Protein backbone atom coordinates (compact mmCIF):
# COMPACT_ATOMS: atom_id res chain seq x y z
CA UNK A 1 0.00 0.00 0.00
CA UNK A 2 2.86 2.35 0.79
CA UNK A 3 4.37 1.67 -2.64
CA UNK A 4 0.99 2.31 -4.26
CA UNK A 5 0.54 5.64 -2.49
CA UNK A 6 4.04 6.69 -3.52
CA UNK A 7 3.34 5.72 -7.14
CA UNK A 8 0.10 7.72 -7.11
CA UNK A 9 1.90 10.77 -5.76
CA UNK A 10 4.57 10.50 -8.44
CA UNK A 11 1.89 10.07 -11.09
CA UNK A 12 0.05 13.15 -9.81
CA UNK A 13 3.22 15.24 -9.91
CA UNK A 14 4.03 14.07 -13.44
CA UNK A 15 0.48 14.87 -14.58
CA UNK A 16 0.65 18.38 -13.12
CA UNK A 17 4.04 19.01 -14.74
CA UNK A 18 2.70 17.76 -18.09
CA UNK A 19 -0.30 20.09 -17.89
CA UNK A 20 1.95 23.05 -17.00
CA UNK A 21 4.36 22.21 -19.85
CA UNK A 22 1.55 21.97 -22.40
CA UNK A 23 -0.09 25.14 -21.12
CA UNK A 24 3.15 27.12 -21.40
CA UNK A 25 3.78 25.67 -24.85
CA UNK A 26 0.26 26.61 -25.97
CA UNK A 27 0.82 30.22 -24.89
CA UNK A 28 4.13 30.29 -26.78
CA UNK A 29 2.50 28.88 -29.93
CA UNK A 30 -0.29 31.45 -29.64
CA UNK A 31 2.15 34.33 -29.14
CA UNK A 32 4.19 33.20 -32.15
CA UNK A 33 1.00 33.19 -34.23
CA UNK A 34 0.52 36.89 -33.50
CA UNK A 35 4.12 37.98 -34.11
CA UNK A 36 5.47 39.28 -37.43
CA UNK A 37 9.26 39.24 -37.37
CA UNK A 38 9.90 40.09 -41.01
CA UNK A 39 13.31 41.73 -41.56
CA UNK A 40 15.78 42.01 -44.46
CA UNK A 41 16.90 38.49 -45.35
CA UNK A 42 18.44 36.34 -48.05
CA UNK A 43 15.23 34.52 -48.92
CA UNK A 44 11.54 34.15 -48.14
CA UNK A 45 10.46 30.51 -47.69
CA UNK A 46 6.79 29.73 -48.28
CA UNK A 47 5.58 26.50 -46.68
CA UNK A 48 3.52 24.47 -49.13
CA UNK A 49 -0.15 23.58 -48.90
CA UNK A 50 -2.69 21.82 -51.10
CA UNK A 51 -2.94 22.50 -54.83
CA UNK A 52 -5.63 21.31 -57.19
CA UNK A 53 -4.31 20.35 -60.64
CA UNK A 54 -1.89 23.25 -60.65
CA UNK A 55 -4.16 25.74 -58.89
CA UNK A 56 -3.13 26.70 -55.35
CA UNK A 57 -5.72 26.19 -52.64
CA UNK A 58 -7.00 29.23 -50.76
CA UNK A 59 -4.60 28.41 -47.93
CA UNK A 60 -1.60 28.32 -50.26
CA UNK A 61 -2.75 31.42 -52.16
CA UNK A 62 -2.93 33.41 -48.90
CA UNK A 63 0.65 32.40 -48.06
CA UNK A 64 1.86 33.30 -51.54
CA UNK A 65 0.10 36.69 -51.53
CA UNK A 66 1.88 37.54 -48.28
CA UNK A 67 5.22 36.40 -49.70
CA UNK A 68 4.69 38.65 -52.74
CA UNK A 69 4.02 41.61 -50.45
CA UNK A 70 7.25 40.92 -48.56
CA UNK A 71 9.18 40.56 -51.83
CA UNK A 72 7.76 43.82 -53.21
CA UNK A 73 8.75 45.54 -49.94
CA UNK A 74 12.33 44.39 -50.51
CA UNK A 75 12.50 42.00 -47.55
CA UNK A 76 14.40 39.45 -49.68
CA UNK A 77 15.35 39.09 -53.35
CA UNK A 78 14.31 35.44 -53.58
CA UNK A 79 11.15 33.48 -52.78
CA UNK A 80 11.52 29.75 -52.11
CA UNK A 81 8.37 27.74 -52.81
CA UNK A 82 8.13 24.29 -51.27
CA UNK A 83 6.17 21.07 -51.43
CA UNK A 84 6.08 17.91 -53.49
CA UNK A 85 3.13 16.04 -54.94
CA UNK A 86 0.66 13.50 -53.66
CA UNK A 87 -0.02 10.22 -55.45
CA UNK A 88 -1.86 10.89 -58.70
CA UNK A 89 -1.03 14.61 -58.81
CA UNK A 90 0.23 16.10 -62.06
CA UNK A 91 1.75 19.10 -60.30
CA UNK A 92 3.84 19.68 -57.20
CA UNK A 93 2.83 22.24 -54.60
CA UNK A 94 6.03 24.13 -55.42
CA UNK A 95 5.25 24.09 -59.14
CA UNK A 96 1.73 25.40 -58.61
CA UNK A 97 3.10 28.06 -56.26
CA UNK A 98 5.75 29.17 -58.77
CA UNK A 99 3.13 29.53 -61.52
CA UNK A 100 1.00 31.64 -59.15
CA UNK A 101 3.95 33.88 -58.37
CA UNK A 102 4.60 34.37 -62.08
CA UNK A 103 1.02 35.56 -62.40
CA UNK A 104 1.70 38.10 -59.64
CA UNK A 105 4.69 39.51 -61.49
CA UNK A 106 7.52 37.67 -59.75
CA UNK A 107 10.19 36.71 -62.33
CA UNK A 108 11.48 33.17 -62.49
CA UNK A 109 14.96 34.37 -61.53
CA UNK A 110 13.54 35.35 -58.13
CA UNK A 111 11.96 31.94 -57.47
CA UNK A 112 13.65 28.82 -56.11
CA UNK A 113 11.79 25.50 -55.87
CA UNK A 114 11.92 22.72 -53.31
CA UNK A 115 9.83 19.98 -54.94
CA UNK A 116 10.30 16.89 -52.76
CA UNK A 117 9.00 17.82 -49.31
CA UNK A 118 5.88 16.13 -48.00
CA UNK A 119 6.03 17.70 -44.54
CA UNK A 120 7.20 20.95 -43.00
CA UNK A 121 10.44 19.33 -41.84
CA UNK A 122 11.22 17.82 -45.26
CA UNK A 123 10.44 21.09 -47.06
CA UNK A 124 12.60 23.16 -44.74
CA UNK A 125 15.42 20.60 -44.73
CA UNK A 126 15.47 20.58 -48.54
CA UNK A 127 15.35 24.37 -48.70
CA UNK A 128 18.11 24.73 -46.11
CA UNK A 129 20.32 22.38 -48.11
CA UNK A 130 20.30 24.32 -51.38
CA UNK A 131 20.20 27.73 -49.70
CA UNK A 132 23.39 26.94 -47.77
CA UNK A 133 25.04 25.95 -51.06
CA UNK A 134 24.27 29.50 -52.22
CA UNK A 135 25.56 31.03 -48.98
CA UNK A 136 22.03 31.98 -47.91
CA UNK A 137 20.93 31.23 -44.34
CA UNK A 138 19.00 34.34 -43.25
CA UNK A 139 15.35 33.66 -44.06
CA UNK A 140 11.76 34.73 -43.43
CA UNK A 141 9.27 31.87 -43.08
CA UNK A 142 5.74 32.36 -44.40
CA UNK A 143 2.86 30.11 -43.43
CA UNK A 144 -0.38 30.27 -41.43
CA UNK A 145 -0.22 31.87 -37.97
CA UNK A 146 -0.76 28.62 -36.02
CA UNK A 147 2.23 27.12 -37.85
CA UNK A 148 4.76 29.80 -36.88
CA UNK A 149 6.24 28.39 -33.66
CA UNK A 150 6.93 24.93 -35.09
CA UNK A 151 8.48 26.00 -38.38
CA UNK A 152 10.68 28.51 -36.54
CA UNK A 153 11.90 25.73 -34.24
CA UNK A 154 12.50 23.36 -37.16
CA UNK A 155 14.46 26.03 -39.04
CA UNK A 156 16.60 26.64 -35.97
CA UNK A 157 17.31 22.90 -35.69
CA UNK A 158 18.37 22.93 -39.36
CA UNK A 159 20.80 25.80 -38.83
CA UNK A 160 18.82 28.58 -40.52
CA UNK A 161 18.74 32.11 -39.11
CA UNK A 162 14.96 32.37 -39.35
CA UNK A 163 12.08 34.61 -38.37
CA UNK A 164 8.40 34.10 -39.13
CA UNK A 165 5.93 36.35 -40.91
CA UNK A 166 2.51 34.65 -40.91
CA UNK A 167 -0.15 35.52 -43.45
CA UNK A 168 -3.18 37.36 -42.04
CA UNK A 169 -5.55 36.37 -44.85
CA UNK A 170 -5.70 32.62 -44.27
CA UNK A 171 -9.17 31.09 -44.74
CA UNK A 172 -8.53 28.98 -41.62
CA UNK A 173 -10.18 31.05 -38.92
CA UNK A 174 -12.32 30.78 -35.81
CA UNK A 175 -12.74 27.35 -34.24
CA UNK A 176 -10.67 25.68 -36.97
CA UNK A 177 -7.72 27.95 -36.21
CA UNK A 178 -7.97 27.23 -32.47
CA UNK A 179 -7.98 23.48 -33.21
CA UNK A 180 -4.85 23.92 -35.28
CA UNK A 181 -3.23 25.83 -32.42
CA UNK A 182 -3.98 22.86 -30.17
CA UNK A 183 -2.50 20.40 -32.66
CA UNK A 184 0.60 22.54 -33.12
CA UNK A 185 1.00 22.75 -29.34
CA UNK A 186 1.28 18.97 -29.18
CA UNK A 187 3.73 18.86 -32.07
CA UNK A 188 5.93 21.60 -30.63
CA UNK A 189 5.83 19.99 -27.18
CA UNK A 190 6.92 16.64 -28.65
CA UNK A 191 9.54 18.20 -30.94
CA UNK A 192 11.22 20.00 -28.06
CA UNK A 193 11.58 16.76 -26.12
CA UNK A 194 12.38 14.32 -28.93
CA UNK A 195 13.83 16.63 -31.57
CA UNK A 196 12.01 17.60 -34.76
CA UNK A 197 14.28 15.51 -36.96
CA UNK A 198 13.72 12.39 -34.86
CA UNK A 199 9.99 13.07 -34.77
CA UNK A 200 9.98 13.33 -38.55
CA UNK A 201 11.88 10.07 -39.00
CA UNK A 202 9.43 8.30 -36.69
CA UNK A 203 6.57 9.66 -38.77
CA UNK A 204 8.18 8.39 -41.96
CA UNK A 205 8.52 4.90 -40.50
CA UNK A 206 4.90 4.96 -39.37
CA UNK A 207 3.80 5.86 -42.90
CA UNK A 208 5.79 2.93 -44.28
CA UNK A 209 4.55 0.52 -41.59
CA UNK A 210 0.83 1.24 -40.95
CA UNK A 211 -0.23 0.60 -37.40
CA UNK A 212 3.20 1.19 -35.89
CA UNK A 213 1.89 4.25 -34.05
CA UNK A 214 -0.43 1.93 -32.11
CA UNK A 215 2.44 -0.17 -30.75
8 A C-beta contact, residue 121 and residue 197: yes
pTM recorded for the entire structure: 0.89
Residue 201, pLDDT score: 82
User: What are the CB-based long-range contacts (under 8 Å, 24+) for 96-102?
Assistant: 96/51, 96/54, 96/55, 96/56, 96/60, 97/46, 97/48, 97/51, 97/56, 97/60, 97/64, 99/54, 100/56, 100/60, 100/61, 100/64, 101/64, 101/67, 101/68
Residue 206, pLDDT score: 45
Residue 176, pLDDT score: 97
Residue 213, pLDDT score: 34
Residue 204, pLDDT score: 55
Residue 1, pLDDT score: 66
pLDDT in tens, the chain (215 residues): 676 667 767 677 778 889 999 999 999 999 999 999 999 999 999 999 999 999 999 999 999 999 999 999 999 999 999 999 888 889 999 999 999 999 999 999 999 999 999 999 999 999 999 999 999 999 999 999 999 999 999 999 999 999 999 999 999 999 999 999 999 999 999 999 999 998 888 765 445 344 333 22
Domains (range + CATH), the chain? 37-172 (3.40.50.620)
Amino acid sequence: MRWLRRALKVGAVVSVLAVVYLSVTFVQVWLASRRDGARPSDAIIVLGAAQYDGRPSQVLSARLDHAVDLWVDGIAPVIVVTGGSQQGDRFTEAGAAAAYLHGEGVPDAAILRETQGRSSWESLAGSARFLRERGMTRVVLVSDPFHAARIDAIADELGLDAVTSPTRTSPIKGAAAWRRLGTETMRVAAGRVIGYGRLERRGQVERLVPGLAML
